[in-house]
Structure 1
């Protein structure tokens, strides 16, 4: 059963990570709909706001209804959002509503399920198992960006792809969701009762929150505009950069998770933030060619992958595995 938990978690995250391939569609949306760069980024920006906002409440849903129902309902919403966005060819508002709001809510509900579930099943390897579980999130962006980039060159429109992807996500996430369940020996009566005010005013939570905010902000700025770092980049150069970022992101989650299990949280967080800061400082000297762009994307993705692992593991270390669902949701709002 433990192996099915891991595989199902990977498959779920593979689907949920698809939104992070958004930069592949931007140029086509600008041309097809006649919108600006900023307008084309609105669905992704709203998604990135709604996604963590929903996670604040997803932990409560998991505790109340169980991980299986939370995963399935989140998957239905996420896939439906992509389907709704396919109507954006007639009015771009549908794409904003679908990919931004509906898919964001679905992802916020479903994303935390495999993380909290895997930590409960593997309490002695919190960092590594979290990294493995969410590696699919980065892998999903790589897979979808590569496939979408190829199909876009064959004159498929982004809106056509949104519809196909939406149905695929519903099927795959709902299937995976059936395997999401707590360990047989898990009991809610064993959990520590903590009020939100008690957690939010905890000095440790505040430090984690601002550290995670810094790490996420750096990664988001790069991920949403990778192609723009090198103005001479062609479509395929940009697609390749997105893929490198996503693949390295997936690898980084596993590697940083393994590092986290061997060192204390403070040192790992400091190392991750330092690595991101140094990369951004060095970016003008690295991104001077297509190869430089790929290298920059890979390192950025690797570091960003760590952000999405070490803080979930830190929550489990401080407050216990059973509180990851609720507390990490608040932390992820950073």
Structure 2
């Protein structure tokens, strides 16, 4: 649940904002956002390894990490501004109750869940995967 909230606040909101600024370049925008998300996970792995080399406890690192992420998210949210000409949803565009019962909705939800889980599992294990493929531990971090 905590990871889901983090992804919702730190990934989806900036992506939707960026897409509203560049609606004709959706692939490029999503590519940059996904690359930033993955690069952040790789950077966090490197920083975590350095922090643990100084004998910091896991709970203490999580506390500092949560505080740091919270500050970064709050500061970064100040720049999430939709363009003035962004379309505002009208009542006729709202989702109808039958949408939730359709197979397209559930296919989308299941696809997003499986894709997100697989991606997060790979990102979290990039270093062990790299070491297993023969990359030196320091470089794989």
Query: What residue number does 2:2 align with?
Result: 47
Distance in 2 of aligned mates of 1:217 and 1:171: 26
The within-5 A match list for 1:179-190 is: 179-188=79-88
Query: What residue number does 2:29 align with?
Result: 129
Q: Is the 8 A contact 2:18 2:29 kept in 1?
A: yes
Query: What residue number does 1:138 align with?
Result: 38
Question: Alpha-carbon deviations, 1:270-296, whole Å to 9, x = none?
Answer: xxxxxxxxxxxxxxxxxxx722689xx
Q: Is the 8 A contact 1:117 1:181 kept in 2?
A: yes
> Measured at CA, do residues 192 and 181 of structure 1 come closer, stay the same or move farther in structure 2, by a change above 3 Å?
farther
Unmatched segments (≥5 aa) in structure 2 = none
| 1:178 match: secondary structure | helix
Distance in 2 of aligned mates of 1:196 and 1:112: 23
Distance in 2 of aligned mates of 1:193 and 1:120: 17
Query: What residue number does 1:240 align with?
Result: 127
Q: Is the 8 A contact 2:11 2:37 kept in 1?
A: no
| 2:85 match: secondary structure | coil
* 1:148 partnered with 2:71: no
> Measured at CA, do residues 196 and 219 of structure 1 come closer, stay the same or move farther in structure 2, by a change above 3 Å?
farther
Query: What residue number does 2:115 align with?
Result: 215
How many residues are paired up? Answer: 137
| 2:24 match: secondary structure | coil
Question: Alpha-carbon deviations, 1:30-49, whole Å to 9, x = none?
Answer: xxxxxxxxxxxxxxxx434x
CA shift, 1:241, in A, is 3.4
- Give me the CA root mean square deviation: 3.2
Query: What residue number does 2:12 align with?
Result: 112
Normalized per residue, the structure richer in helix is 1
TM-score, scaled to structure 2: 0.73
> Measured at CA, do residues 216 and 175 of structure 1 come closer, stay the same or move farther in structure 2, by a change above 3 Å?
closer
Question: Alpha-carbon deviations, 1:201-229, whole Å to 9, x = none?
Answer: 344333333333343444455555x3xxx
Q: Is the 8 A contact 1:114 1:180 kept in 2?
A: yes
Q: Is the 8 A contact 1:241 1:293 kept in 2?
A: no
Q: Is the 8 A contact 1:146 1:240 kept in 2?
A: no
Distance in 1 of aligned mates of 2:90 and 2:15: 19
> Measured at CA, do residues 220 and 174 of structure 1 come closer, stay the same or move farther in structure 2, by a change above 3 Å?
closer
Q: 1:291 aligns with which of 133, 136, 141?
A: 133
> Measured at CA, do residues 218 and 191 of structure 1 come closer, stay the same or move farther in structure 2, by a change above 3 Å?
same
Query: What residue number does 1:169 align with?
Result: 69
CA shift, 1:177, in A, is 0.9
